Amino acid sequence: MKAALYDRMGNASEVIRVQEVETPEAGPGEVRVRMRLSGVNPTDWKSRSGVTPGRMDSFQIPHHDGSGVIDQVGQGVDPSRAGQRVWLWMAASGRRWGTAAEWSVVPEGQAVPLPAGTSDELGASLGVPAMTAHRCLLADGPIAGADVLVAGGAGAVGHFAIQLAKHLGARVATTVSGQEKGELAARAGADLVVNYREDGALERLRDFSTDFARVVEVNLGANLALDLALATPRTVIVTYAATGPDPNLPVRACMTANTSLRFVLLYGVPRPQLELAVSDINDALRSGALSELPIHRFPLERCAEAQMAVEEGAVGKVVVELP
């Protein structure tokens, strides 16, 4: 099969190449998926560049997320799954068969049926961003009826944090850096969109709520003062990104707010919580509660450029199309 792959870490244009490799077979408990789209996330370029180095077999096909059709089931898997349209999550976690190839092989629970009417593009956008958003929202209990602040609501995680929070019955405020991102966040369904670079952002957020149950935080270093100014004993500030410099922790201000800090890294979330995320995301898909961000398409031959686009902060979802 044709696959994008690398066998050492480095710049995308130097280490990613497209070549023929053996087509994988589904082992016991696995399914093989004929990929249609491979979704690219920041974690993919961080793994490839060595920013977050991991173990590598003789080569690594990149990308965790994607959508496609099951064309082979391994021993112990219900044969009726063959032909099913699916979305994939964590395909490249501890395995070489990422989604940037004509076929990927994953444990069957990591190929999730796509509800009828859900596009391949949305399917390829879900894994890392929507599952991270789900964990950030729900690690500390239900949010029905609660107020939630999502920092960076036009980002991939931010987008699904808004939509899952709304689906789960919360009111949602979000912050963005400008008009285009503001429109995306409003379209995602946020009840309030605030430009965090403008004066009065804190006051507008305070007018919206004095009782945020969650802050889903993409940049704790930049936003800790704002978050603490809004925090109450009920608030959990949940950080999922190491964007920007680490904050100096203002211990007295944290004590005064009686607030809680939580950190999320998808790779270490316990399996039952990952399975809950999958189930809630498919429930949201069936209800029509989730939508795509703008899609940027690259053919497999330009996989390196696709990763570079994400590295450079593309607004929307970058996908690689499989021939």
Ligand X SMILES: NC(=O)c1ccc[n+]([C@@H]2O[C@H](COP(=O)([O-])OP(=O)(O)OC[C@H]3O[C@@H](n4cnc5c(N)ncnc54)[C@H](OP(=O)(O)O)[C@@H]3O)[C@@H](O)[C@H]2O)c1
Q: Give the binding site for ligand X (CB under 6 A).
A: 41-43, 128-129, 132, 151-152, 154-158, 175, 177, 181, 196, 218-219, 222-223, 240-241, 243, 264-266, 313
In the complex, least distance from residue 221 CB atom to ligand X, rounded to whole angstroms: 8
Residue 82 identity (one-letter amino acid): A
In the complex, least distance from residue 157 CB atom to ligand X, rounded to whole angstroms: 4
Q: How far apart, in whole angstroms, are the C-alpha atoms of residue 103 and residue 34?
A: 5
Q: How many CB atoms lie within 10 A of CB 221?
A: 15
Q: How far apart, in whole angstroms, are the C-alpha atoms of residue 196 and residue 192?
A: 12
Which one, 90 or 304, has the nearer CB to ligand X? 90
Which residue in 125, 129, 176, 179 sits closest to 150, CA to CA?
176
Tokens of 74: 């391994």
223, β-bridge pairs: none
Which one, 66 or 129, has the nearer CB to ligand X? 129
Which one, 233 or 313, has the nearer CB to ligand X? 313
In the complex, least distance from residue 298 CB atom to ligand X, rounded to whole angstroms: 16
Which one, 26 or 215, has the nearer CB to ligand X? 215
Output phi, psi for 74, to 5 deg.
-85, 175
In the complex, least distance from residue 189 CB atom to ligand X, rounded to whole angstroms: 16
Which one, 68 or 127, has the nearer CB to ligand X? 127
Which one, 72 or 110, has the nearer CB to ligand X? 110
Q: Is 216 in contact with 238 (CB distance < 8 Å)? A: yes
Which residue number has the CB closest to ligand X?
A: 155
In the complex, least distance from residue 144 CB atom to ligand X, rounded to whole angstroms: 24
In the complex, least distance from residue 222 CB atom to ligand X, rounded to whole angstroms: 4
CA distances from 117 to 86, 89, 98, 124, 307 (A): 12, 20, 25, 14, 28
